[in-house]
Amino acid sequence: MSNRQPIVAGNWKMNGSRAESAALLAGIKQGLGTVKKAQVVVCPPFILIPLAAKELQGTAVAFGGQNLDAHKSGAYTGEVSGPMLKDFGCTYVIIGHSERRSLYGETDAVVAEKFKAAQDAGLVPILCVGESLAEREANQTEAVVARQLDAVVAHVGIGALPNAVIAYEPVWAIGTGKTASPQQAQDVHKFIRTRIAAKDAKVADGLRVLYGGSMKAANAKELLAQPDIDGGLIGGASLNAEEFLAICRAAG
Least separation in angstroms between CB 213 and ligand PEP:
5
Segments of 130-202 assigned E as strands: 165-168
Alpha helices in 107-160 (DSSP H): 108-120, 133-137, 141-156
Based on the shown chain and the rule CB under 6 A, indicate whether residue 239 belongs to the binding site for ligand PEP: no
Q: Closest CB to ligand PEP among 11 and 119? A: 11
Pick 27 or 83: Cβ nearer ligand PEP: 27
Which one of the spans 47-55, 116-124, 134-142, 210-218 is the region binding ligand PEP (CB under 6 A)? Answer: 210-218
Residue 13, CB-side half-sphere exposure with 13 Å CA sphere: 14
Q: Which residue is nearest to ligand PEP (CB)?
A: 235
Active site residue 106: no
**Residue closer to ligand PEP, measured from CB, 151 or 215:** 215
Nearer to ligand PEP, 44 or 212 (CB): 212
213 is a site residue for ligand PEP (CB under 6 A): yes
Paired with 232 in beta bridges are 8, 211
Among 233, 245, 247, 250, which residue interacts with ligand PEP (rule: CB under 6 A)? 233
Tell me how many residues contact ligand PEP (CB under 6 A): 13
Contact yes or no for 94/64 (Cβ under 8 A): yes
The correct pick among 64, 65, 96, 236 for binding ligand PEP (CB under 6 A) is 236
* Residue 169 C-beta: closest distance to ligand PEP, Å: 5
Count the residues in the chain. 252
Q: CB-side exposure of 148: number of CA atoms within 13 Å? A: 27
Closest of 152, 186, 156 to residue 170, by C-alpha: 186
102 scored as a contact of ligand PEP (CB under 6 A): no
Cα atoms found within 13 Å of the Cα of residue 10, Cβ hemisphere only: 31
CA-CA distance, 23 to 90, in Å (whole number)? Answer: 20
Side-chain-facing half-sphere of 217: CA atoms under 13 Å: 10
Stretch that binds ligand PEP, among 21-29, 112-120, 180-188, 213-221 (CB under 6 A): 213-221
Check if 169 is active-site. Answer: yes
Element (H, E) at 131: none
Contact predicate 129/166, CB 8 Å: yes
Does position 11 bind ligand PEP by CB under 6 A? yes
Active-site residue set: 97, 169
Interface contacts to ligand PEP, rule CB under 6 A: 11, 169, 174-175, 212-215, 233-237
